[in-house]
Amino acid sequence: MSIPQSGGGPIERHEQLAEYLAEGCKPKEDWRIGTEHEKFGYCKETLKPLPYEGERSILAVLEGLRDQHGWAPVEEGGKLIGLVKDGANVSLEPGGQLELSGAPLETIHETCDEVNAHLRDVKDISDKIGVGWIGLGAAPIWSHDEMPLMPKGRYNLMDGYMQQVGTMGRTMMRRTCTVQVNLDFSSEADMVKKLRVAFALQPVATALFANSPFFEGKLNGHKSWRSRVWRDLDADRTGMLPFVFDDGFGFEAWVEYALDVPMYFVYRDGAYINALGQSFRDFLKGQLPALPGEMPTLSDWADHLTTIFPEARLKKFIEMRGADGGPWRRLCALPAFWVGLTYDQATLDAAWDLVKDWTAEQREALRIAASVDGLQARVDGINMHDLAREAVALSDAGLKARARPGAGGLVPDETHFLNTLKENLETGKVAADELLDHYRGDWNGDMTRVFADYSY
């Protein structure tokens, strides 16, 4: 979940809303890669989730990163709720999941170095206090009541509201984790093509990164339970957004969509003001019940855009949001997959050719099938395994065309970050299948073995 945004001053013209998004347009040489990933913390002795405070806690880890690894604190209401350093930030998801939002970097080599350094620092602090971390799409054994709620104002507001608009909102907040990548665009037309490819191929990412077959100590019947959770959360702000494929789609169409998404809050003077269910359109008229007579700023608009949760999201960049959190070696594969597909023009064009004839119904069906069956999904003659093979091959070609070397030039490009996905395609099994094989095999039905075998 995002920290408060800094968007700018007063909104005086409706056009400023789309202009804010258009400010994200950058020449290709300025495109960057921002990788985000979340992970569950737990007490090694009890395998219970971490509380916010205490000897073995979220706070203890944050303080350790602050005091021993040079991160600057971010506080809310006198509570330490995040950290910042070198353009990156560490933040807390509602249930205490620790998120790294990486700095905008030029190559996958750099973003992977950043991920590795972060996980080493977290492990250094955590090992000293008996805390472990694991990358999964959903909490494998914990109940709702076992999960804490972090002391952040927006989470307190969301927690109650989620119960009114769907059945799985609070599950998403406390017991799911993701890995995602944020990518740039050069123009409105470039944004449109990238966002359409993002939505259409998001089910492929869901299938390839499916990693949540366990929930509340049981098999849940899905390869990606996290994806299933997102389908029954809040219809006003989630989903595959068919209008993105309409003729004439662009920045203004996204604005009109976002204006119709009910608000959560307005952030003022370090506090979150309850605006649940209220309309940003009313805010633009100075008629927001939460702040009568007050006009919004671009910072308010930027905050509002962070409360929209479709499978791909437009801000001043595009967020790819369809993948489960996963083990250490797979965290760099997600940005590699999407960078390869979208940062080379010929590859992006080929990716669009692959998906441009699909209907909204097919895209939604692929999303559902991917969450249930992973690479074994099939929809209207579309074989997910074959589709994923084509998508990864295109990504590989895109990364070769980028030709961004690493390791001081010893590694010619970024294609090796796709190796774990290529292995999945060879075996037909993704992380969820491996977990199920262990559960039915050497774990003898003991789901707690996941902590010993899959923690960072």
C-alpha torsion 377→382→388→392, nearest 10: -170
Assign residue 328 a region (left: φ > 0; alpha: ψ between -120 and 50; beta: otherwise). alpha
How high is the pLDDT of residue 8? 79
Task: Provide the pLDDT for residue 3.
Answer: 62
Q: What values do phi and psi take at 133, rounded to 5?
A: -135, 145
Q: Is the pTM of this model over 0.75?
A: yes
State the chain's mean pLDDT as an integer.
97
Query: Can you tell me the mean pLDDT for 423-439?
Result: 98
Closest CA to 139 of 453, 430, 451: 451
pLDDT band at 329 (very low <50, low <70, confident <90, very high): confident
pLDDT in tens, 359-394: 999 999 999 999 999 999 999 999 999 999 999 999
What residues have CB less than 8 Å from 281, skipping those under 6 apart?
Answer: 259, 260
Helix (DSSP H) and strand (DSSP E) numbers for the chain: 17, 15
| Helix, strand, coil share (%) of the chain residues, nearest 5 | 45, 20, 35
Is 432 within 8 Å of 450 (Cβ atoms)? no
In whole angstroms, give the CA distance from residue 449 to residue 213: 14
The tokens describing 59, both together, are 């706070």
CA 279 to CA 316: how far, in whole Å?
22
pLDDT at 2 over 70: no
CA distances from 176 to 40, 173, 454 (A): 9, 7, 16
pLDDT band at 7 (very low <50, low <70, confident <90, very high): low
Q: Using pLDDT thresholds of 50, 70 and 90, give the confidence band for residue 169.
A: very high
Output the CA torsion sign for 367, 373, 379, 382.
positive
DSSP string covering 80-105, please?
EEEEEETTEEEEE-TTS-EEEE---B
Mean pLDDT value across residues 86-110: 97
For the segment 289-301, the average pLDDT, to the nearest whole number, is: 97
CATH architecture for the domain at 15-454: 2-Layer Sandwich (3.30)
Is the per-residue pLDDT at 1 higher than 90?
no
Residue 28 confidence (pLDDT) above 90: yes
pLDDT at 328: 87
Three-state secondary structure of 398-431: HHHHHCCCEHHHCECCCHHHHHHHHHHHHHCCCH
Q: Is the pLDDT of residue 161 over 90?
A: yes
Question: For 245-250, what is the mean pLDDT?
Answer: 98
Helix/strand/coil for 451: helix
Does residue 41 contact residue 50 with C-beta atoms inside 8 Å? yes
Helix, strand, or coil (residue 322): strand
Cβ contacts of residue 184 below 8 Å, gap of 6+? 24, 26, 30, 31, 32, 317, 318
Tell me what pLDDT residue 157 has.
95
**pLDDT of 6 above 70:** no
The CA-atom distances, in angstroms, between 435 and each of 136, 211, 212, 283, 293 are 10, 8, 9, 48, 55
pLDDT > 90? residue 4: no
**240 CA to centre of own chain:** 15
| Tens digits of residue pLDDT in 197-229 | 999 999 999 999 999 999 999 999 999 999 999
